[in-house]
Chain A
Amino acid sequence: MTQIAYGFWDGEVLDNRKGGSGLPADFAEPQNLDTFDDGNAVRAFIGDRGFFVMDEQVSLLDAFRQYLDRAAGQSCGKCTPCRVGTGLIRDALDALCRGEEGALDLDGIAGMARHITDTALCGLGQTCGGALIAAIENFRDVVEAEIAAAPAPRQHGMSYVTAPCMEACPCKINVPRYIDYIKDGRPEYSLGVILQKVPMAATCGRVCVRFCEMACRRNLVDQAVGIKTLKRYVADLQSGPNPLRFASDQIRTPLGPEMRVAVVGAGPAGLSCAYHLLLRGYHVDIFEALPEAGGMAAIGIPSYRLPRHVLKTETETLSALGGRFLFNRVMGRDFTTDSLFADGYLAVFLGLGCQEPVLLGVAGEDPAMRGYESGIGFMLKVHDHIAGTRKTELAGDVVAVVGGGNVAMDCARSALRMGAAGVHVIYRRTREEMPADKSEIEAAEEEGVVFHFLTNPERVLSADGRIVGLTLVGMRVTEPDKKGRMGVEPVPGSESDFACAHLVAAIGQQVQADALSQEELIGLNRWKCVAADPGSLATSRSGVFAGGDCVSGPGTLVQAMSHGLKAARNIDDWVQHGRIRFFPRSRIRQMVKDNHMLAASDIKIPILNEYRVHHPELEPEIRKHTFDEVEQTIGQEEAYREASRCLRCYRIYSVVTQQPVPEGAV
């Protein structure tokens, strides 16, 4: 629990200066705000909704000078009050800190802050003055005493700018900024912002599950900004006539030839890790069991969602940066962690993925049976079918897909394209609980996939070693358990037989058992995933880091890429400093998260409805017969319009600390 000396939050004045430590009865107690890094007390915290002072000796003047300096530096300059006003306040506070008179006195500062709050265009301006107004209004005695005692000391601390979409993104991509650049007419800069965090912008712009859009505050007005659509728009400029060039000259500090790191697995996690290590100057070799790069993005995502050439362009980036792909190298067969270290690699990143299918666990199930496919196995067949190396024809057959995730949707929609007479998705819970993307479910329906919700297979029926059908049972929702999650249970007597020639069991995957032998000394957790520290992604073996699906279980592309980024940063720390350093931005993020600071924010001023742009797409009747890409890129006019819908919900958070904030990796 954090002791508050005084402060202001969400309209509540907090004041324990004359003793006491209490907070108003219904006030959510600030969590985890007292210490920044080890032994470094937080003296004050300033955010969009107010401020907390933990150490009465702190200088408010200097704390707000720092805060407004960040605001002025972050102002985009479009609207007058924020462009000019933030700088004026910063300069006035700076003058007061130095014991001089500035252009604005204390009332002038408060008035200007109110003017910015009331009239600024975006979230940054609208929220950067609130805490300052509250401080001057409610703690004027403190501020005036400071002015009288000037000069005020310069204090340690840092500030952090974020937005709901950025915090929701596992890679923390600066979404409002890349949308700004589109608005400004500089899409290549927009792509530059994305490429700072992820190497696979065009892939992400097609298949990302869009945590950002779920967090988008435009949802409170009409519909979320088409963030993914815009990302794809700028990323697809790379396939236009004038792509941005990648070259090793963008590596600022190339390291010596001994600085080698091995990345195992060329999936999204491995590629991301390799990319960020290359940019940090390392020499990176990427070991991949398959003959091509991309991992699940290559074999697990059908080409009607992610054309192969898009992925190929992005994986080639790694080569342009000096990365070396070593294909057809299987861990446990061709090399081990020991052999990698013996070969002189200083660190190893494991992005092994999760390719071992999970069985349904019902009577009559035998993966060797003809007509039986795992989700991942089926997607491999789809991959070979499209590549032309091995055709799979489902002409006239009925296909049953069990599962409700995106892999199940991919299998179902691909089966249609391979000529299946009927495709049925069997899912044991309700439609609302399906983990697949809503848009994927809708697209599958449009193409003619039949859904059976609250239905579960009970037995696999076969004849002569070949699947002929399933016994299905109806399910019903039970009372919520203690955690509030509804369970399901079979409805007795609801069994019925369902004829099908193919069964695709797409209910999950796990790490392949033979990749990591006992001798590797790399621990697994109880879900048979690689055990890695969530903060550092370090495994139980020193110098070995892991990320992506092999750590989290089957997850999303953007999650895997964020692991790659984080691991690269930590590998760099481990190699250069022998330890993983404190990462200040992560710490502030944790503070924001623990106190739900980005959660509550309604829209006060009415906003014009501007409905979001939609991808042009192929008609269902045409697309269900082809693996050509369904969604097309939007045009320039639509991109400008969609970009203009962004509300720019930037927020600034800053801390004043006892000691300097330690320098961490960027």
Chain B
Amino acid sequence: MTTKQTPAAAVAVSATIDGVTVRAEANETILHCARRYGIHIPSLCELDDIDHAPGTCRICQVEILGDGGGQAHLAPSCITPVEEGMAVMTHSPRARAAQRLQVELMFADHNLDCVVCKRHGNCELQDVARVVGLDTNRFRDPARIAARHVDDTSPALIRDMTRCVRCQRCVTVCREGQTVDALVMTGFGQELEVGLKHGLSQTESTCVSCGQCVLVCPTGALGEREEIDTVEDFLYDPGIVTVFQFAPAIRVSVGEEFGLPAGANVQGQIVAALRKLGADIVLDTNFGADVVIMEEGTELLRHLVEKKRPTFTSCCPAWINFAERHYPAILPYLSSTKSPQQTVGVIAKTYLPQKMGLDPKAIRVVSIMPCTAKKDERVRPQLSLDGTDEIDVVLTTREFVHLLGRRGIDLSALEPSTYDNPYMSAFSGAGAIFGTTGGVMEAAVRTMYYVVTGREMQPIELGQLRGFEGVRTATVDIGGDIGPVKVAMCHGLKSVRGIVEAVLDGTADLDFIEVMACPGGCVDGGGSLRSKKQYLPHALKRRETLFSIDHVANVRQSHNNPQVQELYKSFLGSPYSELAHQLLHTYYTDRHVEMTRSVKDIWDSITMSTVIY
């Protein structure tokens, strides 16, 4: 097969922007070029990090002066290429007036109840209104706002179209970044909004709740189902024993909210903050990660002996959603081991009360996760313990920050504290790196090597697994009867899709595949803090900190975590034991979504100027 491509002529051009002589690449936009020269043009819908410039908000208008007596005209700088000799004014009276009017028009049907919006004070629309100097709001029409939809059907994501500016960033990141392609534009004119494919609701749709759309949304239109009050109620109730856990990635991805450098490790401050909030017991999800390695590693070794290949990891709930919704045929290849979050929940409601003499019914487990899909995972029917939830509330990183804000807690001002729970808070370096792509694999290999050979792997850090490409493959010799194992790590669902299709069509030669649905892994999960006008700017710094936590850890293998050893010794028996199987393993179901429409259905809902039938 061949695909013909016509190459674009690559000739750089000279022009002026606000009188500054600039040199632009062929086909470079005015906005892009202006940024390189430090010239600011107000903009909203465009997001360069995901290569998104739909040219729809029309705020980034500039005036292009006519050459040789020609007429000056306005142009949207995000999609207009710089041409040779072009003279661009970004803040001429005409450009400013157009920018300002555009923002005012945008407010005609925007829900301006800002004080109850999650993005209040952290909103790109508020920012741009200030930047263009908006001073009136003449066209606001409450009827139009009321006509827009709110979809609150999902346990994870809420879509509030009354706050949507129709920038379509979410559509692009879902379609091109993640290839989930769950989001579509529905309706025309004033009724245009973002909807789900096939007219389904959020919860029944092909959406996998990865939450990458939330990270790019400039306003409060997209967000998680907020559950901070439930946590407050737990904390207030003296009859409840509150158990908190927080994910590996949380400690390295929350500091910047409190003025600390991106990637700063604030584990000790989080422990201190949770105590200050009134948490009864503070655990670490990293402990759960170590247990997962014991289970998943054992499971994988069995598969290798049985020549059943490949095995996919199962700790990422958006990946589980993706497999169930989009590729049910891949489900038999998924590890049955529960995620670290659920593992901690189950053990905290069985083993922990035994050890501590607590009433299991009084325990409420709260997870703090960089993830929106964890809220989906929490309510999966197969993840319940004798009819009660394994996890009672999931807070995203963002909600956690809000909770701290409610209590006036500034992480940066807290003295770091340490864990005091002797049963479920210790973790190895292997558990710590779970939060980044390749980390689960590296942790598993360390333990499998030991199980097979009886020796610790040397060197312990597997540089060959630590790249950042979407898909990385390696062959790792874990010795003994098993020998070389072919592994792959993929992050971002676009890469994942490729691997899954390769496995299904038989072209993948792999034993073990680590999957993280979000690009970069949990350090950039869909529950992370938002970055205005940027997408995943801190990925690598957060990742480095996780590796350094492992590097200086006293215990670097999951099987050497003394609390894990004690758990198996005094409670579970051995990995993959009957009790372990009952508590720490799960199953998956086919939840494929089919389009089943007739021509009549389509014709009944087509909007067009002239409809024949």
Contacts and interface: CB of A to CB of B under 8 A. Distances in A.
Interface of A: 70, 72-81, 83-85, 87-88, 103, 115, 118-121, 161, 174, 177, 183-186, 188-189, 191-193, 195-197, 223, 241-242, 244-247, 249-250, 252, 279, 585, 604-609, 611-612, 614, 616-619, 632, 636-637, 640, 666
A77 B191 contact: yes
A77 B58 contact: no
B105 A81 contact: yes
B103 to A, nearest CB: 8
Contacts of A619: 1-2
Contacts of B188: 75-77
Contacts, number: 191
B55 A121 contact: yes
Most buried by A among B86, B138, B608: B608
Interface residues of B, number: 68
Given A75-B188, A608-B81, A192 B606 contact: yes
A585 B610 contact: yes
A608 B29 contact: yes
A250 B613 contact: yes
Contacts of B598: 244-247, 249-250
Most buried by A among B64, B83, B184: B184
A73 B613 contact: no
A608 B59 CA distance: 18
B75 interface: yes
Given A252-B613, A614-B4, A637-B176, A78 B56 contact: yes
A81 B97 CA distance: 13
B413 interface: no
B458 interface: no
Given A78-B54, A189-B606, A608 B597 contact: no
Nearest to A641: B176
A84 B109 contact: yes
Contacts of B197: 185-186
B55 A79 contact: yes
B590 to A, nearest CB: 15
A250 B599 contact: yes
B183 interface: yes
**Which 7 A-B residue pairs are closest in the complex by CB-CB distance?**
A77-B192, A185-B184, A192-B602, A250-B600, A184-B185, A245-B598, A84-B105
Interface string B316-344: 00000000000000000000000000000
Contacts of A188: 595, 597, 602
Interface string B58-94: 1101001000000001111001110100100000000
Contact of B190 (A70, A83, A196, A611): A83
B186 interface: yes
A124 to B, nearest CB: 10
Contact of A605 (B5, B73, B184): B73
B106 interface: yes
Contacts of B176: 637, 640
A121 B105 contact: no
Contacts of A605: 64, 73, 75-76, 80
A177 B609 CA distance: 9
Nearest to A250: B600
B596 interface: yes
Interface in B9-45: 27, 29
Contacts of B6: 223, 611-612
Contacts of A174: 608-610
A614 B3 contact: yes
Contacts of A617: 1-2
A250 B600 CA distance: 5
B189 A75 contact: yes
A81 B106 CA distance: 8
A245 B602 CA distance: 10
27 contacts: A77-B166, A78-B56, A79-B55, A80-B102, A83-B105, A88-B105, A115-B98, A118-B74, A119-B76, A121-B58, A174-B610, A186-B185, A186-B197, A189-B602, A192-B602, A244-B602, A247-B599, A247-B600, A250-B598, A585-B610, A604-B73, A605-B64, A608-B27, A614-B4, A616-B2, A616-B3, A640-B176
Contact of A606 (B75, B171, B187, B595): B75
Contact of B602 (A121, A161, A191, A611): A191
Contacts of B101: 81, 115
A120 B58 contact: yes
Nearest to A585: B610
A160 to B, nearest CB: 8
B200 to A, nearest CB: 12
A74 B102 contact: no
B169 to A, nearest CB: 13
A632 B54 CA distance: 28
A105 to B, nearest CB: 12
A81 B58 contact: yes
Nearest to A252: B613
B305 interface: no
Given A250-B603, A609-B27, A666-B612, A76 B192 contact: yes
B555 to A, nearest CB: 46
Nearest to A636: B181
Given A606-B80, A666-B610, A244 B186 contact: no
